[in-house]
């Protein structure tokens, strides 16, 4: 089963553009578009999605002078419509235009017709200034204003999604609307209907933070301290017996940063809490993250003391985001790294994330599905992950399905007929080998109905021992192509053990030990101030000292392509090798749209292949060399001497 969608859910960098939903174009209007009233409830559904995510909405309108050249009285093709200041030019009341929605007016001059929202309006510059990269366009009419706007949007470099269920055509010539849709597709736009749009996660609240972040922000506000600060996220040491980590969670962190703001309700709670004064709370009304971010691309292998993420922003902004950034990135790194260890041990076997039910909360389970897929898992049982990110979704049945039937064979038959393209039967509810025999006996009957048994699942007992016996039963019964899938408290060590046994298992469902990263449920990681107002900063706490200044990581590879050495150095230093930290956000806006998840997934595969053999195993290996540059050491020593002289 695959719940992938061709159009990702709306998110940072997206805007909704509703073209001319004005009274004159609606039923009863002076230039009514056929069936135009049908789009209003659909437009409202799109509006709800964008408003819930606090994403920008633009209403555009024809805004004609009374003597406009397009009117018949002036020799044009149209009856008078959408005349400035008249009721017919107003937006449909059913849409409820919000004061926060932007309005773009076109065709405002009597001697110029303008169908495109970009024609003489400055719309492109306004969108680009707001960091918009993708437009979701609906409204009236398909063959005029929608078509012309889509053309110009694509010419101006925007990605365009046409809301096919929220457009209607004038069709002066029969088929004009269909031809317009075909042209928009040929130009590179994507067609979309609201039921095909992937669901979006809820907006990140600014209160997803620790109290001390907000109390420090008030202190910075009161002290007028808001110089430029550089914070870096890094891991101090590897978990026991782990030899590497895999960067993950960056896209989640960028989405948080790009939409971060305090709502009126959140500011209201702060007033009621008694911790904060009004002047500080009032200052948060326009709070936005305006900083720069450099980061390791998701799927990059890394090691202790190497910055994973570098944030450069006004002090209050860089400080506030600490809690949520660590929360998102640490968990993603943990699960991705754990999953990568399992992928290495499974070799060519299929791995599926089964862990949401025992994850530490719904979000943890959802993000574990993303991180494990990035690291090389084939998919997940978590349906929401399929809907959000297009991760392949897999599932069979639980023991309750078997127990709900009077006979095991009846349960198998009913499930197969209900899921004819996804027949994987759970066979260990009672006696595993007897159940395998029942599967063999049932197969010919199902085959006559055109149903193939794709696989059986083992979930208890000695999985390897059962797999050998079940494989023999299936093969003897002519089911040599029926796969064996196993689940049940598995981790990388169990996978390695079964591989060594040669167990005939084709795939594994991995649950609790993956999503909780059971042997290493947390990372010794930190997000620390490394520079403020142009001055490098260094913490010297016992066992928690930091390297000062904004930094870069340079990686060198051997002649065989394997990792050879890393060097952590100051960002302005030059050194031979590959710089790992890349710019991903400037002035609070991403430099590129979110990548499909398959992009970091392929990067992770390449990175894991380049690991030295010793680092790929489960036994502790000699640490990968991570050298600290001489200039960085000298800077740390200089700061230490200054600190001692002031003490």
User: Is residue 6 over pLDDT 60?
Assistant: no
Residue 168 sits in the same domain as residue 215: no
Tokens 């633009």 belong to residue? 58
Residue 589 sits in the same domain as residue 640: yes
Please tell me which residue in 24, 82, 101, 106 is annotated as part of the active site: 106
Residue 33 sits in the same domain as residue 140: yes
**CATH number of the domain residue 439 falls in:** 3.20.20.70
Residue 25 sits in the same domain as residue 107: yes
Give the pLDDT band of residue 389 (cuts 50, 70, 90). Answer: confident
**Mean pLDDT along residues 222-234:** 97
Q: How many CB atoms lie within 10 A of CB 421?
A: 8
Residue 218 sits in the same domain as residue 321: yes
- Residue 305 falls within a domain, yes or no? yes
What DSSP character marks residue 71?
A: B
pLDDT in tens, 204-227: 789 999 999 999 999 999 999 999
Percent of the chain as helix, strand, coil, to the nearest 5 = 40, 20, 40
**CATH number of the domain residue 595 falls in:** 3.20.140.10
**CATH number of the domain residue 97 falls in:** 3.40.50.850
pLDDT in tens, 521-571: 999 999 999 999 999 999 999 989 999 999 999 999 999 999 999 999 999
- Residue 206 falls within a domain, yes or no? no
Residue 494 sits in the same domain as residue 641: no
- Which residues, in sequence order, are bridge partners of residue 582? 295
Domain end (from 163, 196, 229): 196
- Residue 286 falls within a domain, yes or no? yes
What DSSP character marks residue 624?
A: P
- Residue 51 falls within a domain, yes or no? yes
Number of domains the chain contains: 3
**Mean pLDDT along residues 251-267:** 91
Residue 236 sits in the same domain as residue 87: no
- Answer yes or no: 589 catalytic: no
Cis before 141 (ω within 30)? yes
Domain end (from 196, 229, 248): 196
- Residue 334: which of 517, 492, 513, 527 has the closest Cα? 517
What is the crossing angle of helices 598-609 and 322-346, to 10°? 60
Residue 53 sits in the same domain as residue 185: yes
Residue 176 sits in the same domain as residue 104: yes
Q: Are 210 and 323 in contact (CB under 8 A)?
A: yes
- Residue 347 falls within a domain, yes or no? no
Residue 69 sits in the same domain as residue 176: yes
Please tell me which residue in 14, 101, 145, 251 is annotated as part of the active site: 145
Q: How far apart are CA 296 and CA 307, in angstroms?
A: 8
Domain end (from 196, 226, 244): 196
- Residue 322 falls within a domain, yes or no? yes
- Residue 266 falls within a domain, yes or no? yes
User: Is residue 265 over pLDDT 90?
Assistant: no
Q: How many CB atoms lie within 10 A of CB 437?
A: 16
Q: How far apart are CA 444 and CA 440, in angstroms?
A: 8
Please tell me which residue in 20, 101, 165, 292 is annotated as part of the active site: 20
pTM (two decimals): 0.78
Q: How far apart are CA 507 and CA 352, in angstroms?
A: 8
pLDDT of residue 2: 34
- Residue 401 falls within a domain, yes or no? yes
End-to-end CA distance of the chain: 65
- Answer yes or no: 294 catalytic: no
Q: How far apart are CA 571 and CA 586, in angstroms?
A: 16
**What CA–CA distances, in Å, run from 172 to 88, 438, 614?**
21, 65, 71
- Which residues, in sequence order, are bridge partners of residue 58? 17, 102
User: Is residue 34 over pLDDT 60?
Assistant: yes
% the chain with pLDDT above 70: 98
User: Is residue 382 over pLDDT 60?
Assistant: yes
Kindly report the average pLDDT of the chain as a whole number: 94
**Mean pLDDT along residues 604-620:** 96
Residue 22 sits in the same domain as residue 156: yes
Residue 26 sits in the same domain as residue 140: yes
| Residue 279, domain extent | 211-335+535-646
pLDDT in tens, 83-119: 999 999 999 999 978 877 889 999 999 999 999 999 9
**Mean pLDDT along residues 182-195:** 91
**Mean pLDDT along residues 630-637:** 97
- Answer yes or no: 20 catalytic: yes
- Which residues, in sequence order, are bridge partners of residue 234? 526
């Amino acid at each position: 089963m695959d719940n992938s969608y061709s159009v990702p859910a709306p998110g940072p960098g997206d805007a909704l553009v509703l073209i001319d939903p004005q009274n004159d174009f609606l039923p009863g209007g002076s230039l009514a578009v056929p069936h135009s009233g049908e789009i209003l409830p659909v437009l409202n559904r799109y509006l709800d999605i964008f408003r819930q995510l606090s994403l920008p909405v633009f209403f555009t309108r024809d805004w004609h002078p009374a003597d406009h050249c397009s009117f018949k009285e002036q020799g044009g093709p149209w009856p008078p419509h959408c005349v400035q200041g008249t009721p017919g030019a107003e937006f449909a009341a059913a849409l409820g235009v919000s004061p926060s929605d932007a309005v773009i007016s076109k065709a405002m001059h009597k001697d110029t017709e303008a169908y495109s929202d970009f024609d003489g309006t400055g719309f492109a510059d306004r969108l680009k200034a707001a960091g918009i990269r993708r437009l979701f366009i609906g409204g009236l009419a398909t063959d005029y204003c929608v078509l012309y706007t889509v053309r110009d949007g694509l010419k101006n470099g925007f990605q365009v999604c046409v809301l096919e269920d929220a457009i209607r055509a004038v069709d002066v010539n029969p088929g004009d609307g269909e031809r317009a849709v075909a042209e928009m597709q040929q130009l590179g736009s994507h067609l979309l209907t609201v039921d095909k749009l992937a669901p979006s996660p809820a907006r990140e609240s600014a209160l997803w933070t620790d109290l001390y972040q907000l109390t420090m922000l008030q202190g910075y506000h009161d002290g007028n301290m808001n110089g430029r600060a550089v914070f870096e996220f890094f891991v101090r040491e590897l978990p026991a017996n782990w030899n590497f980590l895999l960067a993950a969670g960056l896209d989640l962190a960028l989405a948080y940063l790009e939409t971060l703001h305090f709502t009126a309700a959140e500011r209201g709670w702060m007033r009621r809490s008694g911790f904060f004064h009004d002047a500080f709370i009032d200052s948060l009304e326009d709070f936005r993250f305006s900083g720069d971010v450099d980061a390791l691309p998701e799927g990059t292998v890394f090691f202790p003391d190497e910055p994973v993420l570098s944030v450069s922003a006004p002090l209050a902004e860089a400080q506030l985001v600490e809690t949520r950034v660590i929360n998102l990135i640490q968990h993603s790194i943990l699960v991705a790294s754990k999953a990568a260890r399992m992928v290495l041990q499974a070799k060519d076997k299929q791995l599926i994330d089964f862990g949401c039910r025992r994850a530490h909360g719904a979000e943890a389970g959802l993000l574990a599905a993303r991180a494990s897929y990035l690291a090389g898992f084939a998919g997940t049982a978590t349906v929401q992950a399929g809907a959000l990110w297009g991760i392949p979704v897999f599932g069979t049945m639980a023991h309750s399905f078997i127990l709900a039937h009077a006979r095991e064979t009846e349960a198998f038959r009913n499930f197969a007929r209900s899921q004819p393209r996804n027949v994987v039967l759970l066979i260990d509810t009672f006696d595993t080998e007897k159940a395998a025999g029942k599967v063999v006996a049932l197969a010919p009957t199902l085959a006559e109905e055109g149903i193939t048994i794709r696989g059986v699942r083992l979930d208890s007992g000695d999985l390897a021992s059962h797999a050998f016996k079940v494989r023999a039963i299936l093969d003897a019964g002519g089911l040599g192509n029926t796969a064996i899938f196993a689940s049940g408290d598995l981790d990388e060590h169990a996978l390695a053990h079964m591989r060594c046994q040669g167990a005939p298992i084709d795939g594994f469902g991995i649950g609790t030990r993956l999503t909780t990263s059971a042997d290493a449920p947390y990372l010794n990681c930190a997000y620390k101030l490394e520079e403020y107002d142009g001055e490098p900063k260094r913490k010297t706490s016992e066992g928690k000292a930091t390297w000062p200044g904004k930094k870069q990581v340079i990686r060198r590879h051997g002649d065989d392509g394997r990792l050879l050495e890393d060097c952590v150095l100051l960002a302005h230093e030059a050194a031979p090798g590959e710089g790992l930290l890349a710019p991903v956000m400037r002035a609070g806006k991403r430099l590129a749209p979110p990548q499909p998840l398959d992009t970091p997934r392929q990067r992770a595969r390449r990175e894991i292949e380049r690991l030295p053999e010793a680092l790929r195993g489960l036994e502790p290996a000699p640490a990968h060399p991570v050298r600290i540059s001489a200039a960085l050491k000298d800077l740390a020593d200089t700061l230490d001497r200054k600190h001692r002289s002031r003490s």
